Every structure is written in C-alpha cells, then in structure tokens.
Structure 1
C-alpha cells in the first residue's frame, strides 16, 4: 500500500470559490491558490515565481470554505496531492490538484472569527478592546501569583 503525498500551501486565493452541489448531500468546492516564495538575497527580499494550485474540498469542508473564503485572502491549505492522467488527441495529459483536508485563513496576515454551525456570527473585537483585555488578563495572572495555567 502506498501513502498519499501530503502537502501544505500558503498563498492567496486567486478568484472565486465555486461550490457544486452533487447528488444527495455531497458537494465540492474548487478554488485556486497563488503561492509566491520570498527569499533574502544580497541584503534584500526577492520574490520568486508565482505558482498556481487548484484546490478541491468536499462536503462539509466545501460548504465552510465557500461561506468563508474570498478572492485575495491569505490561506493555508493542507491536503493530498492527487494527479489525474488522460490522453487528448493522442497526447498524454496530467493535472495535479490538492484535495484539501483543512483550509484556514493565514493568521500571520490578519485575524478571523470562527463561527460554528448554529451560532450567530460575533463581531471581532477592535484592536483596542483586544489590547485592553490582554492587559487585564496579564494583570490578573500576575496578581494571582499562580504558576498553573488558567482554566479556559
């Protein structure tokens, strides 16, 4: 038995997510991700060539991706690398795509709010509110003097 090739991509969504409803409760979402490597050379950051990857997500993940991910947003995609081969006009053709097992926003580029099914969407706190909450939590932890982690 062979192991699947696992891959993790970070990049920008390059277009709309398309959601196709199939028979029963099955569906598939498809989108493209542009990955641009950067590296440090001769004292400056240099951008490499852009590579495009087709990503497919199935069923519940497909619905969540279609509801959450928009063109231009930074994402992290993890999944299986799958090759499809066929012949066209007597010539062999191959396409490679990522069948996603996980998709999320790249939080090094910004923030996001998770909304579970059945929950109402909460508004994200402002940076001032977040900073104030963090300061209050740090003060409480320091004044408690406990080395134990707090219960969530």
Structure 2
C-alpha cells in the first residue's frame, strides 16, 4: 500500500448500482458525479464547474452495504485508491476513466439526513464454533 494515491470525493451517485460476484467476492460498481461550485467572477452568486465523473468499485461487505444503502441521486462521500484506465469506446474515441476502489463510502450529511443500522457479524462456520467452544 505504499505510494498509493488516496482521494476523498464528494458527489452524487450518478446511476443505479450494479452488483456482481468476482472471484468469490461481491463487488458493487457505480458512477459518481462531482460538480464543483465556485463564486461567480462578478461576485454575484455561484456557478457550477464542469462535472467530473468517477467509476467507483466497492468490495465484499462494503459492496453489500452499498447495494442496500445507496440509490441514484444520493449525496455521498467516497474515500479510496485512485487509479485510471484507458479504452476505446464504440465511437472509436480513446477514453480516460478515473476509477476509485473505495475503502469508505457514506452519505453526505451536509446534504441530507440518514439512518445508520449496524451490520451483524457473519455467523462462524460450525467447525470454527466448535473450536471456539473447546478453547
């Protein structure tokens, strides 16, 4: 984990989440829209800057929690490792995709309210339960 680029982003969930299994682990993916607001040059009000889009992936328990907690349009904070990939789209144009592998995701409480429910720890396998009770 040395020399990783870690970022914290504030934005809105830009579409429906997709959830899938990859290598035996759950992964949730969604797009995050971040639109900066700046004071207008004339000092009269605020103006929106260009929207920046990020692809966010969350793994394992975080993925499952995102799947039941996040919806299109939700204001969220995302913290994780920044990466990028390039590909050629259907129109033949090379695209740069900024990707964040999330380590933390939460609702942005400066934009609304939320309710928290603690996740239950997964049940131990029967063999682990037997070992724990024997110890």
Bin for the TM-score computed over the shorter chain: 0.7 to 0.9
1:17 partnered with 2:17: yes
Partners of 2:115 and 2:31 in 1: CA distance: 23
Equivalent in the alignment of 2:70: 69
When the two chains are superposed, the root-mean-square deviation of aligned CA atoms in Å is 2.4
Matches within 5 A, 1:1-152: 2-24=2-24, 26-41=25-40, 42-84=43-85, 94-118=96-120
The residue matched to 1:115 in structure 2 has which SS?
coil
The residue matched to 1:80 in structure 2 has which SS?
strand
Higher share of residues assigned helix: 1
Q: Larger deviation: 68-77 or 91-100?
A: 91-100
The residue matched to 1:64 in structure 2 has which SS?
helix
Partners of 1:5 and 1:38 in 2: CA distance: 24
Deviation of residue 65 (structure 1)?
0.4
Partners of 2:95 and 2:46 in 1: CA distance: 36
| Count of matched residue positions in the alignment of Structure 1 and Structure 2 | 116
Segments ≥4 residues shifted beyond 4 Å? 85-88, 91-94
RCO comparison, higher one (Cα < 8 Å, 6+):
2
Higher-Rg member (1/2): 1
TM-score (norm 1): 0.68
| Cα deviations by residue, 1:47-80 (Å, 9 ceiling, x for unpaired) | 1111111100011100000110000010000000
TM-score (norm 2): 0.76
Unaligned runs of 5+ in 2: 121-135
| Cα deviations by residue, 1:94-130 (Å, 9 ceiling, x for unpaired) | 5330000000000001111111124xxxxxxxxxxxx
- Change beyond 3 A, Cα 1:3–1:115: same
Deviation of residue 84 (structure 1)?
3.2
Equivalent in the alignment of 1:138: none
